[in-house]
Structure 1
């Protein structure tokens, strides 16, 4: 039995879609009704990291776990300890590429490092997935593209080797279902480091119309993020953007090709698949 957590999120829902239908799969979600794309044979259960009884039920009979933690500051300790007690053999954890960068000291990266350490010291087999930023983050531009034909972002010429969430999910499924991934940390990037200005140009090509790029000031970016996140998270995101401006996120890795046998998906190809979201179809 494989347990998938975070199944309503960006990567988890793609993992659910890609797991072979003949494998026994259980999906744990805080809101089971929001789970989509699961096989008809999947067992969907309600669970919360803060509810020990729900964790025990979800982990009963499970051999491998896809572990996603989305609330910044949330401790993976309870689910890791419960998994170990339940006899889970292998945990595949979604982390972040920044944990490898000694210059990354923001709140979000420190939190990911702590949870990685908890897993690696658990006694269970582990695999760490460390993706760069998701291409899907650009969906936050969709409304302004549809309504104004404009993309607004901070530091438009700083490059990020962003990755297709589907590629991350495919590597996760390989790690959950194949041998040879235990004790490994997979850093996952797209095939190129691309800037927001270049992404805007690719979106113009996909949509067949000109999209303008307008650069935000740090103050404007802080204000916009503050409408969505608490202040400590906003500062962590701004610090991450500063590191990107310094070139910290431009390194391209071949891990997607090495694990799956095919190259990582370019941004333009991913954007073509999301054309309806940007065009408003």
Structure 2
């Protein structure tokens, strides 16, 4: 059955992959603040300009949508999910798939970002439409932040570089979202989505070096250096939350592996080596 599916965050790492997966068989509404950016990125579907920070008019953008995928990031001003949930209810959307974070299940995780994700899940539980939560570990694509340093022959510098993280391929998340949006049996389910093996940043750098056929160096950042880097990109509360998250990773909180990618998609989760090989041109 052909569905009308709205993708909130269509230019994001998961959203644009999801729109591509859905586009062949379903009508996709690609909700984005910048349709121009969506066009530049080649995001499939009908681009729809949407500002999730404003409630007015959002329900009109969702009219006729059977399902909605939501990927937001605004922990300092957490109104996006509230506005989308109210609009989805008013528009009669039947099912919502929300991209969340696996840290919400860790009682020791009390940083701003994790508390915000928990609040978002509560919003969707109460919103009215059936819900599915995709609780993801860190994205493998975060390693693309190292690309400039790798191409220049410099060191890759990270905080707690020996701490393992069961990071996941964003393409696996997009496929899981597509299955949840279009298949049966996913209502009221929360999936813990990880890669098949926990790796440290130092191990990821070693895999990249092997694939590139040349040595790469990993260097440790201090907490002060990492915090300064995050402060240059994010508001202070978010930078502090990232530091708390890194400390939990150093304590081993992000090393557990699940098989939920396989349960949802029907195939094993993508290993880091395969992700790196597919994106190797970015590091050359």
TM-score by length of 2: 0.95
Paired position in structure 1 for 2:225: 220
2:59 aligns with one of 36, 56, 59: 56
2:192 aligns with one of 187, 193, 213: 187
**CA RMSD, Structure 1 to Structure 2 (Å):** 1.1
Paired position in structure 2 for 1:121: 126
Q: How does 1:78-227 map to 2 (within 5 A)?
A: 78-227=83-232
Q: Secondary structure at the match of 1:95?
A: strand
1:123: Cα distance to partner? Answer: 2.1
Q: Secondary structure at the match of 1:121?
A: helix
Aligned-partner Cα distance in 1 for 2:267–2:37: 31
Q: Is the 8 A contact 1:149 1:210 kept in 2?
A: no
Where structure 2 has 5 or more consecutive residues not aligned to the other structure, the ranges are none
1:200: Cα distance to partner? Answer: 0.7
Q: Is the 8 A contact 1:164 1:270 kept in 2?
A: yes
TM-score by length of 1: 0.96
1:3 aligns with one of 3, 6, 9: 6
Q: Secondary structure at the match of 1:19?
A: helix
Q: Secondary structure at the match of 2:127?
A: coil
1:165: Cα distance to partner? Answer: 0.3
Which region of structure 1 is more displaced relative to structure 2, 219-228 or 163-172? 219-228
Aligned residues: 277
Where structure 1 has 5 or more consecutive residues not aligned to the other structure, the ranges are none
Question: Does residue 249 of structure 2 align to residue 244 of structure 1?
Answer: yes
Aligned-partner Cα distance in 2 for 1:38–1:11: 11
